[in-house]
Amino acid sequence: MFFHTGIFLKNALPWLTVIKALMLPNTIALIFGGRSAEHEISIISAQSIAANINTEHFRVLPIYITHEGHWLCDGIARDILNLDLSSILRTSSLEAATATLQEMVEKAAQKLFDLDFRTEGIAVAFLALHGTYGEDGRIQGFLDTCGIPYTGCGVLASALTMDKALTKLCVADAGIAVAPYITLFRSDYQADPETTHSLIEKQFAYPLFIKPANLGSSVGISKVHHREELPQALQNACSLDWKVLVEKTITGKEIEVAVLGNEQPQASLCGEIVPGKEFYDYQDKYIFNTAKFFIPARIPADLQEKVRASAIKAYKALGCRGMSRVDFFVDEKDDAIILNEVNTIPGFTDISMYPRLMEAVGFTFPKLVERLIQLAMETIRP
């Protein structure tokens, strides 16, 4: 029985070819791209995932979502998976990468057609979407409605962890420390910038951090050192989100833990990041690879166990399943463990921390991909 999704996709292959691919028992729909500011990183993550899926067990059907939200199946989606996007980002700019992708889509001129998902044909949807419209519960709810299992967290956990303010509220209720913060709204800031500036300076000393509440990959984050930098940082964050966080700067090591599993999750070793710049920003994470990584982290063994336990506690408190990367600041002087954020679809590039941490505990990249598929297929979603 077919379920009509109502989504129009473009495809260069004949209709019958696509239906045949969908009806294979072990077809994996690899969904990537999307409408968020993390679009290009999603493509690079998808490329790494595609390269590590066992093709003897699974057939990959790539589905690319453009910046505008158009769904493209196979054809051009496969071409984009084979594009050396990392080189374009390193040698040119994000704008040039976006222009290249748009030009490829326009030149493909694929025909519109209506795709019916046959749930028995797609074993699982592997989500490589980062940020809004991919990591925030929207695609998860769509796939639940279609009856298609998918990797990673469900609707509620995805939505909660995407919103940094709500994440803090939930984990703080579970007894996990968070950095002091306030939540601002774009409309209030635009109506009265000076009052917002004064409010921030009454609450925090410089330096402080300004963050969009609903983005990842350090997109839109600014470290503000003095009053002159504050307006631009707020404008940048407000251009990307309607809700903005202002956070106290926390002194401590940046520690990350990869968590894998459904009802009985397991935590990896602790990993430590020493940023190549003042803080671990977008370019440091995905383009220039100037940060230094230490696995295991350079903190005492007993403190590592406390961090791992806190990661599991946060994972369960938020209702996560499948996978998440849980990030902390850790101060060895007083054993302070402060949660920074939770990423339900962490970066999956070849330099990303999540696959590195899992490899350190015995999960090679191909084994990790297969385990995530298994976890998705085990999940019973209401």
Residue 118 has which token pair? 């046959």
pLDDT at site 12:
41
d(CA 67, CA 44): 15
What's the whole-number mean pLDDT along residues 180-186? Answer: 95
Which of 94-108, 146-160, 296-310, 320-334 bottoms out in mean pLDDT, i.e. has the lowest?
94-108
Instruction: Mean pLDDT check: name the lowest of 59-63, 262-266, 360-364.
Output: 59-63
- At residue 375, the pLDDT reads 96
Question: Residue 15: which residues within 8 A CB-CB, separation 6 or more?
Answer: 113
**What average pLDDT score do residues 294-314 get?**
97
Mean pLDDT of all residues in 341-347: 94
The 10s digit of each residue's pLDDT in 208-251 is 999 998 875 467 789 999 999 999 999 999 998 899 999 999 98
The reported pLDDT for the residue numbered 8 is 38
Query: H helices within the chain, ranges in order?
Result: 15-23, 39-51, 75-81, 85-91, 94-108, 138-146, 155-162, 164-173, 186-191, 193-203, 230-240, 282-286, 301-317, 353-360, 365-378
Residue 331 confidence (pLDDT) above 60: yes
Summarize pLDDT for 73-99 with one digit per residue, the tens: 878 889 999 999 988 988 888 889 999
pLDDT of amino acid 380: 56
- Can you read off the two tokens belonging to residue 45? 């993550």
Q: What was the pLDDT predicted at 122?
A: 81
- What are the chain's domains? 3-150 (3.40.50.20), 162-177+251-378 (3.30.470.20), 181-248 (3.30.1490.20)
For residue 309, pLDDT beyond 70: yes
Average pLDDT of the residues in 184-190: 95
Digit-coded pLDDT (tens) for 100-126: 999 998 888 765 434 555 544 788 999
Q: Which segment, 17-26, 109-118, 191-200, is predicted with the most confidence on average?
A: 191-200
| Residue of 100, 169, 121, 154 whose CA lies nearest to 345 | 154
Name the nearest CA neighbour of 340 among 277, 279, 278.
279
Nearest to 316 by CA among 367, 373, 261, 371: 261
- Give the per-residue SS3 of 146-207: HCCCECCCCHHHHHHHHCHHHHHHHHHHCCCEECCEEEEEHHHHHHCHHHHHHHHHHHCCCC
Mean pLDDT (the chain, rounded) = 87
Question: How many angstroms separate the Cα of 18 from the Cα of each of 27, 60, 267, 290, 332?
Answer: 11, 12, 39, 42, 55
- Give the model's pLDDT for residue 117: 57
DSSP for 12-30 reads SS-HHHHHHHHHSTTEEEE
Please say if the pLDDT value at position 279 is more than 50. Answer: yes
DSSP states along 120-155: TTEEEEEE---STTTSSSHHHHHHHHHT--BSS--H
Assigned token pair, 348: 């999956």
pTM of structure: 0.82
pLDDT at 216: 59
pLDDT confidence band for 7 (50 / 70 / 90): very low
pLDDT at 277: 59
